[in-house]
Amino acid sequence: MTWVTAALISTILFAVVTVLDKRLTTNLYPSAGAFNVGFGVMQASISLIYFAFVIPTVGFDGGSGVPWAMASGVLWGLGLALFFHALRLEEMSRAVPVQQMAPVFAAIVAVLFLGDVLAPLQWAAVLVVVFGAVLVSARPEQGLFRIARGRAFFLLLGGSFSLGMAFVVSEQATREMNVWAIQAVRSGTMSIAMFLLAARPATVRQFTTASRDLYTFSMLVLAEGLLAPLAALSFIVALDLGQVSSVSVLSASRPLFTLMLGVALSTRFWNVLNEPLDRDTLGLKTLAVVMIVGGVVVLSVG
């Protein structure tokens, strides 16, 4: 397998997982909190599998990196919790591009606090990504463009910032411990963060009741217990086989795949997501997605 194949598999799988998450948060679980409890259960299970079967084989070196891995898990948990809440409120093809602002936040923090330097072209790319994120949230309305569902937009911004910080912390963790140990610790602390944020008597009851339906629980296991870990593993394989910048460029194309899936699953022949397909909306989304992907690519290559 080449790094290109592994990166494409990862990107496409993450797009598919987003489609399933949209169905789970909007149609199958009664609240985003109930879904987040289920996500926490999946992450706790994944962490236990790593500690029980993987770590005894590959070892748990670099104990000094544990605090960084734990911080990464907390930030990932917070970022994804906000994303899942926004995904329940917003169209999938609008939510994912805004989430792609995470590398922009990571780059800005790296410049301000870690001594990194961005070239003028990269700063221009930052502005393009920011403008694209605002544009993808805009809706044509009586000849004007209005940012509707503002709560979802700000939830997505907060989630993107948290994920951007997770990128920075994860990079520090990789310098001090192996990837498998990071995954084990990260999944464990991510589950704890999810439980602290979402586990309330009401949401636990909602999760338990909804999960009694075999179809609903099977979809949760498929999305967050199988496909998401496989996508993450494919990404790790791609990083191992190729350069970080090249892999990041391909991974940045996720909003394009998500947009295509959103269109394919919103037609009158197979209307699963019920996203608007009028020409103005599709044109606006496509332009915004291209701007965001292009800006992230420039940042990654630089």
Q: What DSSP letter does each residue of 160-184 carry, written as one string?
A: HHHHHHHHHHHHHHHTTS-HHHHHH
Is the predicted pLDDT of residue 114 greater than 80, yes or no?
no
Average pLDDT over residues 5-19: 91
Give the SS3 label for residue 78: helix
Higher pLDDT, 113 or 215: 215
pLDDT at site 279: 81
Percent of the chain with pLDDT over 70: 93
Is the predicted pLDDT of residue 246 greater than 70, yes or no?
no
Neighbours of 171 (CB within 10 A): 15
* pLDDT band per the 50, 70, 90 thresholds, residue 40: very high
pLDDT at site 141: 56
Is the predicted pLDDT of residue 69 greater than 70, yes or no?
yes
Q: Are 188 and 130 in contact, with CB atoms under 8 Å apart?
A: no
Classify each residue of 125-147 as buried b or exposed e, where b means 16 or more C-beta atoms within 10 Å of its C-beta: bbebbeebbebbbbbeeeeeeee
Please report which residue ranges of 221-273 form alpha helices under DSSP H. 228-241, 244-251, 254-264
pLDDT digits (tens, 9 = 90+) for 142-164: 444 555 556 888 899 999 999 88
pLDDT digits (tens, 9 = 90+) for 257-274: 898 898 888 888 778 888
Residue (of 115, 109, 110, 160) closest to 133 by Cα position: 160
As a whole number, the mean pLDDT across the chain is: 86
Identify the helix (H) or strand (E) that includes residue 77: helix 66-89
pLDDT digits (tens, 9 = 90+) for 207-231: 999 999 999 999 999 999 999 989 8
